[in-house]
Every structure is written in structure tokens, then in C-alpha cells.
Structure 1
Amino acid sequence: MIKVKRVYDPLEKDDGIRILVGRLWPRGIRRSQIDVWLKDVAPSDELRRWYNHEPDKWEEFKRRYFEELSRNPKVEILLQLIKKGNNVTLLYASKSPYNNAVALKEYLEKVLKV
């Protein structure tokens, strides 16, 4: 199962493996709160700056991000964790509901045909 939640939300028993998928480490978060940091699956700096969490760019952002992900070998780490039956929680720091963790979950579910 793939979940998405803000890194500042409380830990829950069913979070499973907590994976930070942002390029930057969030303020005030201890390393013990995160199991894995996969900053390499975050959008490129160029794409992140272009998008700037503007909701009207959401669909184009996802298209470009999915293209980046399709060429990114680090995505395989996530896929293997999920295929093993592990609960995985993708963590993000943004206040916006239009963020890369939400898009990444959608991408992973398409690849896995969930």
C-alpha cells in the first residue's frame, strides 16, 4: 500500500517504511522520523522551480515529472519496496496538496497497475 502524507503529520503504525521524497531536508525533522531519504526521485531543480506549486501548472508538472521518473533508475528502489508487500508512506514538506509526493504516488500506481 502506498500512502502520502506531510512529514510534519504524526507517525502512525501503518505508515510502514517512511520515505522522504523531497530534494531538501525539512526543517525541524529528526533523522529518526524518516526511514529512507530518496532525494533523487524528487523533481529536478529546474522543474521544481518552474512549477513553484502553482495549481494551474499541475497537469503539465505531472507530465514532465513522469517523464523524468521514467528515466530515473532510483525509482526501482521504491518499486522493489512496494512489490515486497511493504507499506510505504511517501513524505513531503510542502503545504500545497499539489506536490511531487502526490504525483509520485500516481506514477507508481500506474507502473504497478494498482
Structure 2
Amino acid sequence: VSVSGEWISSLCMMLENEDSVLLQLHLQWNQKVLELSDKYQLNNINYWGVSEQSRDILIKKTALLEFIKKLTYKSEVSVLDLVQEIQTKSPNLETQKIIDYLRNLIISEFLFTNLRKVV
């Protein structure tokens, strides 16, 4: 049986979109992210080969994003632990909003899950 990289990427995306699965995964910061003065930039994103066109993504630096980067830059952190750390730091943030924010960082490839090992 032959499986394409695009199919595997689509399967990973589908799994990462399920909260119950995502909460069991680990995250790590994408080392290819460029740090600008007030933003982070990631070049040539094609959503793991699912999109035929690549594009650049800019995201504004925030205290929350800096906190996430600090915790995930050097080693993997479980999503569940990260959500709990964020809630400890910002108790007014709803759990679902935190999960959705992390998922958006995964989709835009600022964070990688352990489903997608990067060499």
C-alpha cells in the first residue's frame, strides 16, 4: 500500500482538529519562525503540502504568544500542561479559547505537534 505525504498531512490535520486528540499531543515551537521587532514571521507556508500555493504569515507579538514560545522553544510540552500553565497565568481565559488559539498556531505552523516530527 502506498500512502502520499498529502494524505498523511490531511490525516494529521484532521486529528489535530479534534480537541480530545489535541489535548493528548505535545507541542514545540517552529525553529524557522523569524522574530521581528513586534511580530513573528514564517515564510513559504503551504500547510504541510496540502495547499498548492505557499505564502508568508505574520503574527503580532503578544504576552501570551511570548509565553507560549518560552515554554515550547527548546522542548516539547504537552498541550494539556500548556493549557494549564496559560490558565494559571491568565485565569480569565476560557479553556476552549486557549485550545482554539493553540490550534491556530498549529495550522499556521508556528507550533508543531508530535504528529509531525520535523528533522
TM-score when normalising by structure 2: 0.28
Structure that is richer in helix per residue: 1
Which structure has the larger Rg?
2
- The structure richer in strand per residue is 2
TM-score of the two chains, using structure 1 as the length reference:
0.29
User: 1 or 2 for the larger relative contact order (CA 8 Å, sep ≥6)?
Assistant: 1
